[in-house]
Structures are given as structure tokens and as C-alpha cells.
């Protein structure tokens, strides 16, 4: 009875050994002369010798046949890294004995002379001793790390291979003996199955970058040129649309490009995504993402302290999706972005779109202004849009009850709430929505002339007339019958009297600043008595104390 058992055992060992050897024989890690790759020995027939030897090995398991550990490595680091990588150890240092470029592939311990090779390691495979642009390894992966990071899966991780010290190593992603998923990966790159074994990015499941079936049309820059064996669609490439695990050009966060916007615009140039956002940044008025590199940081304060604008300031690439909303609520393309609420407090996730705008336009020292000097000057739009103000455009909430709404074009009503992008957006409705770029100043979607003595026309004040009925404004005697005299006969721009965002209650009041009245002091000067103000006397009536175009109002009643 013992003999058949011995035969069976020997047979099982033989089959197992054969299956094991076959798995590596057909891969590029078979560096023998019969190997399938372009890098191989000129005459060496042994397969395992390039990594292992049964005799005279180094002290490292498993019977390691290469010297390793002499190099000092530059490690990956970034402001968003919660792990604490050390110098590579464990299986990672074994992998690097070939992949750091310091030791020749044919330089093995068991041979007195190097094994001659046909070629050297490619740039992609040679990680060098600078690992700052490679996924970190040799760090402890435990519940504490997952909690601190907030977007890593918590152990126990049955799907993730950690070493006996609970460290993540090269072998957590690669099996050097099997190439089932290409690049010796433990799971497929398709749909980022491998990345998702560890990473659990917030919002990713419903993100467009996780679900889009868009393909590259072959024009312009190939957005997937950094990917070996790229897939056909955005969803299939998933994380790899933007990230490169090894030798990434953008070291911080392993992005494929150094310039932040380039990671977005090689897809959002109309050749993958349906809308060409890139073209918007060639216009004279824009949020100029090209003007800054390396200033934005995901860990920066919600209200930036250094002037810059990047796509990521308004868009979260892991969260962006195609859902729509109504003002003031955030649309899907702005989902998952930080902001400042109407009370001036930081919010981790903006609920209202204006909260995202407030990060840069609510009183920063470099916050842009209109450049039009008024009786009351203010560059904090959060204060200008407050619903307790004497008058304001309805960005945060509906208009005051005493504001005139009879001149509004449908579908606008007294209860209408607008987005900032109702005025600030592309000048062409067929182009991408949002304040990327415009041919008009202040990134306005329509013409809005502010120069004195501008001839009134539907085009010159197209922005105002996109919501306000031009005919009623000029000819309606039931609101302010002198509109025609001022803007048609005397060529006075709308901006001379009206401050489009609003007047803060901390500076103005309902008597002097109803109906967005806040005179431009460069055009309107004090009256003969020295007064410069508007007074709302109630019931649609008011009076002005000022001098304009040489005419003294001291006061002029309406």
C-alpha cells in the first residue's frame, strides 16, 4: 500500500512543479536564452537562476541569488500621504535588485562571471533609486492607516496580499511568477480592479470617470499614451486615465503629467469628452489654469492663501458625474468639492454652487474686483449676495419682496434663484457650461458694456436683457419711466446706477441702496449741495442727489 502512495506523491510534486515552471517560462521573467522577451541571456539555459539558487545563495529568502540592499532610495511623499513608507524591505527589496538599475540582470551570486544578456532594462521597468514617482511600498497597512486616510479599505483585507509584517510590498500588486493579468498583476487593470482592492475613493462608484463609455477619437494628444495596453474607454482605464503607478511624470499623487491641467485637458479637448473645455482657455477672459503649476494642493486651506486656479479647485475627478440640479444646488460636475457657506464657514462638501465660488471670491486679499469704483466698494461676493441685504441678485435665495420683478423674462419670477454661472460662463451656449473662458470681460456669457456714453442696443446690454425685458425697461412707465431717457437718450450704461451683485447690509441700507443702486463715482459726482446718494421714498418713488453728464440733481425726484 505504501508504494502507490509514494508514486502518487511524486506525481503530484512533478505536476505542481511543471505547472509552476510553465507559468514563468512563458513570461518575460524567463530571462534564459529561450525566454519570450527581448531581454534575455545570450546562452544561459537555466530559468530560475536569475533570482534563485539552491546553493550559495544570499541570506535572503527564498534562496535569493542577487545582492540587494546597498542602495538608499528616495521615497514617495506628498501632502495627502497617510502611510509612512520606509526604505524598501521584504520582497520589495528583492524586486528592486533587478528593477532599480544598479545591478546588472546577469549579475548573480552563484556565478563568478555575469551572465551575458541581449539587452538592458527598459526605462519603464527601471524604477531607479528614485522612488518618489512610484507607488509607495514597505509600509504597514492596518486599520489605523485606513481610518487616517479615509479612502482606504480597512483590514482584514482577504483580497490584498500583505507580508508577514502586515506591510504592503511589490508583491501586493505583482506575482513575479504569473502573468495572468499582464505586468504580473494580481488583478486586472481593467476598470481598475487592482486599485480598488485597496482604494475606496469617495463617490467613485457613481463618478463619470468610473462609468463613461467615451473613447478617444484619434485626434490630438493620446490621453492614454502613458498606459501600456490601454483599454478603449474611459471606464475601462479608470484610475489610469490620470495616474501612472510607476515613473509618473507628476510625482505628487502619481499623475501622468506635471502640469495639473494637462491631466484633465487631454480628454476634455473634445477628442474624448463631448465638450472642448481646453478651447475655452484660449479666450481673452478666463480662469487661467495654465498660469499656475505646483501651487494648488489637495490639502490646502479651503480658502486658498496663494492665488491660483486649477481644474481641481472646482471639480473633483473622483466624484464628478452627469446628474443635474436646480439653483443654487451643486450639479454633478461640481460634486464632492470643498466650499465656504453663506455664514463664512468651511464645508468639506459644498451643497450649493456659490459655496465653491466663495473659496476665491469671498474676500481673499487677491480676490478679483470689477474695477468699477462705486460709493460702496466690496470685493466679497458672499456679503453682496446675502439675502438680508437691501438688494441683491438672487444667488443665495429669492429676491426681496420689494424688488421690481415685472420686467423679468419668463421663466424668471420673484422666486427664481440663479447660479453664478447664469451670468459668468462661456459666451457660446453650445460650448461647455461654466466660467472657463469667454470673449467678454469678467467671463460673462453675454455682452455687458460699462463704458460711459455707450449706445443702448440689444447687443450692448445682452447680459441684462437675457433676464430683463428690454421693451419694458425702456418703455414701461409703471416702474422707472426715466430708463429710456438715461440709457437710450443719454447713453448711460446700466452699471452707472446698478451694482450687479448686490449691496451688503453692513455697508448699505434699504433707503439708499434698493434696486441695486450704488452709483459709480467715476461717472456720477456730488450734487451742488455736496450730496451723492439715492433715496427710496416708497411706493415705487425715489430721488437722486448727484451730478451726472453735467446735470445737477439736487434732488431729482422720480
Dihedrals phi, psi of 347, to nearest 5 degrees = -125, 135
Grid cell at residue 191: 476598470
Rounded CA-CA distance 371/369 in Å is 5
Model pLDDT, residue 402:
66
Q: Is the Cβ–Cβ distance between 99 and 126 less than 8 Å? A: yes
Question: What pTM does this model have?
Answer: 0.91
Dihedrals phi, psi of 197, to nearest 5 degrees = -65, -35
Helix (H, G, I), strand (E, B) or coil at 441: helix
C-alpha R_g of the chain:
33
- What is the widest separation between alpha-carbon atoms in the chain? 124
Q: Is the Cβ–Cβ distance between 390 and 503 less than 8 Å? A: yes
Residue 415 buriedness (CB in 10 A; 0-12 / 13-18 / 19+): exposed
Rounded CA-CA distance 333/349 in Å is 13
Grid cell at residue 423: 451670468
Determine the distance from the C-alpha atom of residue 325 to the mean position of all C-alpha atoms in its chain, rounded to a whole number.
Answer: 20
Helix (H, G, I), strand (E, B) or coil at 186: coil
Q: Please count the other Cβ atoms lying within 10 Å of the Cβ belonging to residue 305.
A: 9
Rounded CA-CA distance 502/483 in Å is 20
Side-chain half-sphere CA neighbours of 195 within 13 A: 19
Rounded CA-CA distance 35/106 in Å is 14
Helix (H, G, I), strand (E, B) or coil at 233: strand
Helix (H, G, I), strand (E, B) or coil at 472: helix
Per-residue pLDDT of the chain (558 residues; tens, 9 = 90+): 444 443 333 333 333 444 444 479 999 999 999 999 999 999 999 999 999 999 989 998 899 999 987 899 999 999 999 999 999 999 999 999 999 999 999 999 999 999 999 998 888 899 999 999 999 999 999 999 999 999 999 887 777 899 999 999 999 999 999 999 999 999 999 999 999 999 999 999 999 999 999 999 999 999 999 998 999 999 999 999 999 999 999 999 999 999 999 999 999 999 999 999 999 999 999 999 999 999 999 999 999 999 999 999 999 999 999 999 999 999 999 999 999 999 999 999 999 999 999 999 998 877 777 789 999 999 999 999 999 999 999 999 998 866 777 789 999 998 999 999 999 999 998 999 899 999 999 999 999 999 999 999 999 999 999 999 999 899 876 678 889 999 999 999 999 999 999 999 999 999 999 999 999 999 999 999 999 999 999 887 899 999 999 999 999 998
Beta bridge partners of 468: 408
- From first CA to last CA, the distance across the chain in angstroms is 117
Cis peptide before 49 (omega within 30 of 0): no
Rounded CA-CA distance 195/197 in Å is 5
Rounded CA-CA distance 76/85 in Å is 8
Amino acid at each position: 500500500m505504501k508504494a502507490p502512495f509514494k508514486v502518487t506523491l511524486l506525481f503530484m510534486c512533478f505536476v505542481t512543479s511543471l505547472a509552476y515552471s510553465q507559468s514563468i517560462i512563458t513570461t518575460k521573467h524567463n530571462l534564459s536564452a529561450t525566454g519570450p522577451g527581448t531581454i534575455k541571456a545570450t546562452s544561459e539555459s537555466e530559468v530560475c537562476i536569475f533570482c534563485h539558487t539552491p546553493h550559495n545563495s544570499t541570506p535572503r529568502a527564498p534562496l535569493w541569488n542577487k545582492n540587494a540592499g546597498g542602495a538608499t532610495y528616495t521615497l514617495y511623499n506628498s501632502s495627502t500621504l497617510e502611510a509612512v513608507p520606509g526604505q524598501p524591505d521584504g520582497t520589495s527589496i528583492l524586486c528592486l535588485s533587478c528593477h532599480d538599475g544598479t545591478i546588472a540582470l546577469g549579475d548573480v551570486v552563484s556565478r563568478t562571471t555575469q551572465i551575458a544578456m541581449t539587452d538592458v532594462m527598459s526605462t519603464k521597468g527601471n524604477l531607479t533609486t528614485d522612488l518618489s514617482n512610484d507607488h509607495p511600498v514597505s509600509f504597514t497597512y492596518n486599520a489605523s492607516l485606513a481610518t487616517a486616510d479615509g479612502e482606504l479599505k480597512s483590514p482584514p483585507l482577504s483580497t490584498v496580499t500583505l507580508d508577514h509584517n502586515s506591510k504592503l510590498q511589490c508583491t501586493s500588486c505583482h506575482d513575479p511568477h504569473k502573468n495572468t493579468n499582464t505586468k504580473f498583476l494580481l488583478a486586472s487593470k481593467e476598470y481598475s480592479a487592482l486599485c480598488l482592492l485597496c482604494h475606496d475613493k469617495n463617490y467613485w462608484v457613481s463618478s463619470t470617470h468610473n462609468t463613461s463609455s467615451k473613447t478617444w477619437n484619434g485626434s490630438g494628444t493620446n490621453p492614454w499614451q502613458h498606459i501600456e495596453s490601454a483599454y478603449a474607454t474611459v471606464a475601462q482605464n479608470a484610475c489610469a486615465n490620470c495616474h501612472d503607478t510607476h515613473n509618473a511624470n507628476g510625482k505628487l499623487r502619481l499623475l501622468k503629467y506635471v502640469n495639473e491641467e494637462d491631466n484633465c485637458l487631454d480628454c476634455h479637448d473634445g477628442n474624448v469628452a463631448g465638450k472642448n473645455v481646453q478651447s475655452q482657455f484660449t479666450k481673452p477672459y478666463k480662469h487661467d489654469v495654465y498660469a499656475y503649476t505646483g501651487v494648488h494642493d489637495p490639502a490646502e486651506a479651503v480658502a486658498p492663501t496663494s492665488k491660483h486656479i486649477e481644474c481641481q479647485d472646482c471639480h473633483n475627478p473622483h466624484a464628478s458625474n452627469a446628474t443635474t440640479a436646480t439653483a443654487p444646488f451643486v450639479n454633478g460636475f461640481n460634486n464632492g468639492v470643498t466650499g465656504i457657506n453663506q455664514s463664512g464657514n468651511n464645508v468639506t462638501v459644498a451643497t450649493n454652487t456659490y459655496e465653491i465660488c466663495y473659496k476665491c471670491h469671498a474676500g481673499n486679499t487677491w480676490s478679483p474686483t470689477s474695477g468699477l469704483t462705486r460709493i460702496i466698494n466690496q470685493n466679497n461676493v458672499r456679503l453682496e449676495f446675502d439675502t438680508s441685504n437691501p438688494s441683491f441678485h438672487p444667488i443665495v435665495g429669492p429676491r426681496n419682496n420689494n424688488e421690481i420683478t415685472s420686467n423679468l423674462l419668463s421663466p424668471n419670477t420673484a422666486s427664481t434663484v440663479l447660479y453664478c454661472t447664469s451670468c459668468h460662463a462661456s459666451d457660446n451656449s453650445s460650448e461647455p457650461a461654466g466660467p472657463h473662458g469667454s470673449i467678454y470681460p469678467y467671463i460673462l456669457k453675454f455682452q455687458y458694456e460699462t463704458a460711459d456714453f455707450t449706445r443702448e442696443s440689444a447687443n450692448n446690454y445682452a447680459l441684462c436683457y437675457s433676464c430683463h425685458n428690454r421693451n419694458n425697461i425702456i418703455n414701461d412707465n409703471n416702474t422707472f419711466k426715466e430708463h429710456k431717457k438715461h440709457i437710450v437718450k443719454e447713453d448711460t450704461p446700466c452699471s452707472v446706477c446698478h451694482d450687479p451683485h448686490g449691496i451688503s447690509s453692513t455697508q448699505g441700507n434699504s433707503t439708499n441702496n434698493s434696486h441695486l443702486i450704488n452709483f459709480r463715482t467715476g461717472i456720477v459726482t456730488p450734487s451742488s449741495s455736496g450730496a451723492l446718494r439715492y433715496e427710496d421714498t416708497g411706493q415705487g418713488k425715489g430721488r437722486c442727489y448727484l451730478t451726472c453728464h453735467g446735470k445737477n440733481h439736487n434732488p431729482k425726484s422720480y
